[in-house]
Amino acid sequence: MFTNMTDAYAAAVDGDTILVAGSATIYGSLDCYKELHFIGNGYMLGSTGNDIPGVNRNATTLNIDFKENVSQGFGDSSNSSVTGMAGGFGSDAMVTGVVVDKCLNVTNQNWIFDGTVTITRCYFRNNLIRLNASGSSISNSRVSNLELKQANTSADHCIIGSTIQTVVGSSVSNTIFWFDKTSDMDADGNFTYCVNIGPAGIVPAGIGNDTGVHLLSEFFVNPSEDPTIDNYYMLKEGSPGSGTGQGGADMGIFGGSKPYVLSGVPGIPRMTEFSVPAIATGLSALEFEFSAQSFSE
């Protein structure tokens, strides 16, 4: 047990997992030179539809830069991961294999990855995600501004709300856009099974793409609710994105083989009840009862 991230990081060795409690206080920033796995408690806990009784509702907020400097003895953070946390994340070009899952960006924090990264089931309220390394991907994530800066980068089953920049050799699939004008869409990449909320002609013609006009009211279960909360983006029956993705999958963040998880709750069990007798003797066994709740991995 540690009371601050500095001490926890100093004690950790490559391959360790650091469980970080939700807190009203931001944990600050960390330059990570070790292969570590950070797990928080999720975000937006207590929001409409996302309430889990007994869970600390504070987010786990930490900014992490994954770095490499083996030549000077600092180490290499390749193959690290972050799950169920809020903050700003990024990596150096020599760092490979970082995984960011079920995370939330915070205001004024861009995520810029110069090394390979896999981003899954994240919620980006504003600002920018930039993938600068071939082999990087983002999936089942709500994004504001996305940049795929290299060939062999991809976005799949996303919702993108502001702009996208792509390059030849990048790909975007099963994605819902929410764009007002064609200048929001840089269509140099390969777009398949995509649709736009709003005017026609935003999404380029291509395999499975819906290039027609669609109203917001057609898409989501509760379009009058708060669009900054993640459960807003659940598709309604008959939505233009429902069953129209590749292979009949739903477009957007709740489709595909690894759908978005509300509040980014990590897939680790939570003990909900623990009962121990007040008295035990050497002549009888100590019997106790406990209950636990599981969450989707």
DSSP-assigned letters across all residues of 101-136:
ES-B--TT--EEESS-EEEES-B--SSEEEE-STT-
Q: What's the whole-number mean pLDDT along residues 82-92?
A: 96
Cα–Cα separations (whole angstroms), residue 253 to 123, 279, 295: 10, 51, 18
Q: Where are the alpha helices (DSSP H) in the chain?
A: 5-11
For residue 193, is pLDDT > 90?
yes
For residue 51, is pLDDT > 90?
no
pLDDT value for 49: 62
For residue 286, is pLDDT > 90?
no
pLDDT value for 48: 60
Q: With b meaning 16 or more CB within 10 Å and e meaning fewer, what string describes 20-49?
A: bebeeeebeebebbbbbbbbbbbbbbebee
Cβ–Cβ contacts within 10 Å for residue 149, how many? Answer: 18
Q: What percent of the chain has pLDDT over 70?
A: 98
**Mean pLDDT in the chain?**
93
Per-residue pLDDT tens for 18-45? 999 999 999 999 999 999 999 999 998 8
Q: What's the whole-number mean pLDDT along residues 85-94?
A: 96
For residue 83, is pLDDT > 80?
yes
Contacts of 150 (CB under 8 A, 6+ apart): 131, 132, 133, 134, 136, 167, 169, 170
Is the Cβ–Cβ distance between 107 and 123 less than 8 Å? no
Is the whole model's pTM more than 0.85, yes or no?
yes
Cβ–Cβ contacts within 10 Å for residue 277, how many? Answer: 10
pLDDT value for 96: 98
Q: What percent of the chain has pLDDT over 90?
A: 76
Question: Is residue 189 exposed (0-12), middle (13-18) or buried (19+ Cβ within 10 Å)?
Answer: buried
Q: What's the whole-number mean pLDDT along residues 181-189?
A: 95
Average the pLDDT over each of 47-61, 177-191, 209-223 and give the range with the smallest value.
Answer: 47-61
Higher pLDDT, 140 or 49: 140
Cross-strand pairs, 144: none
